[in-house]
Chain A
Amino acid sequence: MSRKPLDQRVKGGLPAGIAALSEEHQQLLSDAIGAARREQAEALAAAAEDSLRHIPRLLRGPVRKAVGL
C-alpha cells in the first residue's frame, strides 16, 4: 500500500512546527491518520449491516433506502 505524505492527509498547509518535523515523524503521523480512517470505515461497514438485525422488519426497507445499502 502506498504511503501518503502527511500534507496530503489534511486540508490546508501544515502548521510550521509540524512541517519542520523529520520525514520519519511526519510519516508516522500520516500513517496514524490513515489507520484511524480505516478503523472508522471498517466500523461503519460492519455497523450498517449489523444494525439492520436490530430494526423491525417493516422498517428495514425504508432504512436500507435511506442509508443507501
Chain B
Amino acid sequence: MTGAAAVHERAEILRLARLLRKQPEELAFLLEVDDADLRAFRAQVTESLFDAYGDALRRLGAAAKLIPSPIIALVGQKAFGPLLCARIAGELDPGKAVDIAKRLSVTFLADVAVELDPRRAQRIIEALPTQTIVSTSVELADRGDWITLGAFVGYLPVDKLRHCLRALSDEHILRTAFAVDDEGAIPTVIDALAADRLKSLLHTASEAGLWPTLLRDIAGQLREDQTAEVAAHLADLGDDVLAEVLEVAAEHGLWEPFLPIAAELPQQSQQALADAAGQLSSHARSECAELAGRLGILDRLGPLAETLRESVS
C-alpha cells in the first residue's frame, strides 16, 4: 500500500488533517507516529485553536444572550458561517443553543458539526431534540463524512444513539465504526443495536467487503458476552463466510480481534476454519498459533488448534 493510500486507513491522521485544513496525503509522514501520540497531539492542536481568541468568542457568547434566537440563527448562517458557530457553540447556554439550532437547516447543522469539538459542546448535544440529531447524522452519512459521525459517537445519550442507529444503514454504521474517536464507546453502540441488527451488520460486512473494519474497529473493542454473540451470528452465516473472515484476519494481521471470536464458535464452525486454515501460508498459520498461545486461547480453538499446532511442529 502506498503512503497516500495508507493515510486513509488511519482515522487519527484524517482527523488531524481536517483540523489543520490539510489534505491527508500531505500528512503521510505521520504514518510512522502511533495513534496514542497522534491523539495527544490532536488534543493539543484542538486546545490551541479553540482557546485562540477565547475572550472574543466568550464575548460573542455573552452578546448572544441579548439577541432573540431567530436573529442569531440568521446571523449564524449569513455572517458567522459554520466554523465560527462551532467555536462559539461551547460558550452558549444550552437552552439558547437548542432554540437557535431548531431554526437552522439540517445542511448548516451538519456543516457546524464538522467543525465542532464534541467535548466542548456535550451539554448542547444532550439537550438537542432527537429528531435534529438523527437528521444531522443522516445528512453526514449521506455525505460520507464518517470522521464527523465517528467523533460524536461517544457523546450521544443512549436513547439518541439508538434512534440514530435505526436511521443509518448497516454500511453507514460499519464505515462510521472505522472513525469512532472514543473506541470505548463501541460496546455501548452494540448494546444499543436492535435485535438481529448485529447479524445484519455481519452480513453487510461480508457483502460490502468490510471485514477489516468489523474486526479491527468493532470486534477488537467488544466485551466477552458480545464476542460470544458475534461468534453465534458468524456461525449462522456459514462456512464460506467463516473462511472469508479467516483470510481477512491473515491478510490484515487481525488475529488479535479474530481469535477470541473463533474460540467462541461451535466445533463444527471451528472445523470449517481448520479446513480453511490449511489454505493459508505456513507463516500466517504460525503467526496465528503464536498469538493464540500468547492470548491463552489455543486450547479453546478445537479443530483449528490442531491445524495450527501441526504448522508449528
The residues of A with any CB-CB pair to B shorter than 8 Å are 9-12, 14-18, 20-22, 25, 28-29, 32-33, 35-37, 39-41, 43-44, 47-48, 50-51, 53-56, 59, 62-63, 66-68
Secondary structure class of chain A's binding surface, majority of residues: helix
C-alpha spacing A24/B219, complex, angstroms = 38
**Nearest A-chain residue to B21, judged by Cβ:** A36
Whether B44 and A48, one on each chain, are in contact in the complex, defined by CB atoms closer than 8 angstroms, is no
Whether A33 and B71, one on each chain, are in contact in the complex, defined by CB atoms closer than 8 angstroms, is no
C-alpha spacing A62/B26, complex, angstroms = 46
Task: Pick the contact of B71: A9, A32, A56 (CB < 8 A).
Answer: A56
Collect the chain A residues with CB atoms within 8 Å of residue B75's CB: 51, 54-55
Q: Shortest Cβ distance from B89 into chain A, in angstroms?
A: 14
Task: Pick the contact of A36: B19, B36, B79 (CB < 8 A).
Answer: B19
Whether B80 and A39, one on each chain, are in contact in the complex, defined by CB atoms closer than 8 angstroms, is no
- Given A18-B41, A59-B67; A36-B32 close (CB under 8 Å): no
- Given A11-B44, A44-B53; A17-B34 close (CB under 8 Å): yes
Collect the chain B residues with CB atoms within 8 Å of residue A54's CB: 71, 74-75, 78-79
Task: Pick the contact of A21: B29, B74, B87 (CB < 8 A).
Answer: B29
Q: Shortest Cβ distance from A51 into chain B, in angstroms?
A: 4
Task: Pick the contact of B79: A32, A35, A39, A51 (CB < 8 A).
Answer: A51
Task: Pick the contact of A47: B37, B38, B84 (CB < 8 A).
Answer: B84
The total number of A-B Cβ pairs within 8 Å is 110
21 contacts between A and B (CB under 8 A): A10-B41, A10-B45, A11-B44, A11-B48, A14-B44, A15-B33, A15-B37, A15-B38, A18-B33, A21-B29, A29-B20, A32-B21, A36-B21, A40-B53, A40-B87, A47-B84, A53-B79, A54-B78, A66-B63, A66-B66, A67-B60
Collect the chain B residues with CB atoms within 8 Å of residue A11's CB: 44, 47-48
Collect the chain B residues with CB atoms within 8 Å of residue A43's CB: 80-81, 83-84
**Nearest A-chain residue to B26, judged by Cβ:** A28
The residues of B with any CB-CB pair to A shorter than 8 Å are 19-22, 26, 29-30, 32-34, 36-38, 40-41, 44-45, 47-49, 52-53, 56-57, 59-60, 62-63, 66-67, 71, 74-75, 78-81, 83-84, 87
Collect the chain B residues with CB atoms within 8 Å of residue A63's CB: 63, 66-67
Collect the chain A residues with CB atoms within 8 Å of residue B32's CB: 17
Whether B66 and A62, one on each chain, are in contact in the complex, defined by CB atoms closer than 8 angstroms, is yes
Task: Pick the contact of A67: B20, B21, B59 (CB < 8 A).
Answer: B59
Collect the chain B residues with CB atoms within 8 Å of residue A22's CB: 29
